[in-house]
Amino acid sequence: MKFFADTAEIADIRELMETGLLDGVTTNPSLIKKSGRDFIETVREIAAICPGPVSAEVVALDHAEMMREAEILRKIADNIAIKVPLTIDGLKTCKALTDDGTMVNVTLCFSANQALLAAKAGATYVSPFVGRHDDVGYPGMELIADIRMIFDNYDFGTEILVASVRNPIHVHESAKLGADVMTAPPSVIRQLFKHPLTDNGIASFLKDWEATGQKIG
């Protein structure tokens, strides 16, 4: 399963790239607002740091304007994936862009039927939001299981990009269900490293090593 970082914070992206774990980055208008930076400049810098897909979202709601914005965004770098909402106009834009060789991430997916539509429109990625489903009392991971089954039934090439990932359990379940990609805030990715037994083991080994009075080198 590929790991994308859901952030517009450059320092976090640089750090995660150094681990070798990061395969791509997703951004959205809310993350850009949080960063306080210029949208185009931020996306350009991220695309230069991360060679994998970098999702940049259009904000228009009609097809013609989405295409105009997409034309600007996809010229930033070769690894830009245009992010469009799961609407009729969004899927028109998805088809036009994929037919022209541009990666497309169809976002704000909340049902298996919506994911099916995105796949039929040729989306590179479809982003079902599991955390937001959990928020309203629907188990978000059941949505991932349904989409995985449908995509496997028809051999769709669209990748399932699990979004709105809130905790390590979402990551674990996504991997078990065969999701292609998950995108999570850097804070959630860092939580994956943590385990109390790892911490206890390190503390125990260090204590024993200090007792030997030795040094390495």
Residues with a catalytic annotation lie at 83
Compute the distance between CA of residue 178 and CA of residue 36 in angstroms, rounded to an integer.
Answer: 35
User: In sequence order, what E strands does the chain have?
Assistant: 2-6, 24-26, 54-57, 80-85, 103-109, 125-128, 159-162, 181-184
Which residues 6+ apart lie within 8 Å of 14 measured at CB?
49
31, containing H or E segment: helix 29-35
Strand partners of residue 4 = 24, 183
DSSP 8-class letter at 25:
E
CA distance 88 to 48: 32
